[in-house]
Amino acid sequence: MQRYGQLTGCAPLPPRWALGYHQSRWGYGNEENLRRDLRGFQEHNLPLSAFHLDIDCQVKHRSFTIDPQRFPRLDDFVQELGNAQVKLIAINNPGIQFSRQSNLCLQGLILNAFCTYPDGELVVAPVWPGRTVFPDFTHPRVRAWWSQQFAYLLEIGIAGFWNDMSEPATFVLWGDRTLPQVAQHYLEGRGGDHREAHNVYGLLEAKAAHDSIREFQPQHRPFIVSRAGWAGLQRYAWTWTGDIVSTWEALRQTVATVIGLGLSGIPYSGPDIGGFSGNPTAELYLRWLQMAAFMPFCRTHSSITVEPRSPWSFGEPYLGIIRRFLQLRYSLLPYFYTLAWEAAQQGYPLIRPLFWLDWQDSSLWEIEDAFCLGEALLVCPIVEAGARSRSIHLPKGRWYSFWNEAMFEGGQTVEVAAPLETIPVLVRAGSVMPMVEENRLILHLYPLDFGESCSHLYSDAGEGYGESRLDCFRLIRSEDSLELVWEQQGNYGFSYAGIQLHVYGLAVTQAWIDGEATLIENRQLNCSNFQRVRFAIG
């Protein structure tokens, strides 16, 4: 993965808000429906980071439009969302309506921006706007022109863009649902046809959107979601697992798909929670969300043909469980953000197969229904209706339950309880798990039997390209003590109001902070900045 990152590029650090929860629906239609959902999130005490607009919010499905009749004061609405710490993401398709009434089409015709047949005739195919022409993103002039179109939406506060249909896709009755193989492309001046250009089409469209944000809002980190791409897409965009159906089989397949994307260099992906097509049962939606709470891209989205799907749609007890998992997602943001920094530095995916931790154990090679989030967490989704436990073959080492004091020895298959309220999540021994609660940094300490381990915490402003810091926490276990050593690098200030340490798996009788004895209760210790904390083991 490091070598692949060196070859094709590593994913840049995303804005921190992008790692929160996103809500989307094909069928929102207008501003009032989004405002109604915003009130729902607030009334049900559910965290939210972004809304995504689908094509029903455009003018006749035309690119770079948001219907002013459906959103009569879009700038005010974006500000209203911003006051609630919620971003707005706009959808975009590459196809342009072939019409003299479309200014974008006229510009493209003047620039010779659209793909043609070998005889020079325009490639025209049916897509959402009707008869559609297709920009040739293999031409730098076309990419530059495309980048300019985002400016006015960025100006009013649109925070990112969702590139859909970017294979490019067309509506045809037979054959490949894309451009004809003979469609001509510039290919950076070398020339060629769609057989060669097809895979890079979505990649270069994503690059144009990414470059636009970098140009017009250089103080912000771009957020782009693309349905298509090729090697190197991670430099410009996230992706998702497509228009999947609302079935248990699709839920299980999601795990393998996201693992595979990560091993293909794309660290940021996730599913439409609950599936895109169909109406999931309350149990299926809950199990899907419980899994997605531990994936990089956490978004509910659904088709216009299904019932509206918000986290409160299924009532209790599901709403209460969903609330706890979404709140957990936000408390884990320090860990997610550190993994994002690691992806930017090393090319590592956030979601990893179990064999990442122990490639010599062949029992782990084909596990496709569980995953590691970084090196500390092992997540075991529930992928069968009615299941209240599941088995998992653990990588070597000791594992702690995330939910209670249970411990498991690795290198064997274990059965783990999975009541409706939780899914099995295990923590690897040697981990220091950073979490946040009310602006306090909570460090959960999961010691080894013996020896030393190191965990990192990356921090910055969450946006832009300013100062940063890297905190290293070394956990040292000996026969009669446990020590936590804190080493700090970087110029970004420590942004938490306080620190709390939680010790797991050991009976702790006494604690010292930088040599001074201090009170510890229930294996929890409140403190501030320190260099070394030592715990005596009873």
Q: How crowded is residue 95: how many other Cβ atoms within 10 Å of its Cβ? A: 26
Instruction: Answer whether 292's CB lies under 8 Å from 298's CB.
Output: yes
Instruction: Give the orientation angle of helix 282-292 with respect to helix 248-263, to 10 degrees.
Output: 10
Instruction: Answer whether 289's CB lies under 8 Å from 324's CB.
Output: no
Instruction: Note if 479 is an active site residue.
Output: no
Instruction: Note if 415 is an active site residue.
Output: no
The residue whose two tokens read 């940094």 is 441
Q: Among residues 31, 54, 164, 471, which one is catalytic?
A: 164
The residue whose two tokens read 């995504």 is 52
Residue 390 identity (one-letter amino acid): R
Q: Among residues 31, 54, 167, 205, which one is catalytic?
A: 167
DSSP track, 47-76: ---EEE--GGGSSTT-TT---TTTSTTHHH
Query: First CA to last CA across the chain, in angstroms?
Result: 43
Distance CA 84, CA 75 (A): 15
DSSP track, 263-309: HTT------BTT-SBS---HHHHHHHHHHHTTSSSEEE---TTS---
Instruction: Give the orientation angle of helix 194-216 with respect to helix 140-148, to 10 degrees.
Output: 40
Instruction: Note if 358 is an active site residue.
Output: no
Q: H or E segment at 352?
A: strand 351-352
Reported residue count of the chain is 538
The number of CA neighbours under 13 Å toward the Cβ of 34 is 29
Q: Among residues 243, 283, 361, 368, which one is catalytic?
A: 243
Going by C-alpha positions, the residue among 176, 161, 90, 60 that lies closest to residue 125 is: 176
**Beta-strand relationship, 440-446 and 389-393:** unpaired
Residues designated catalytic: 164, 167, 243
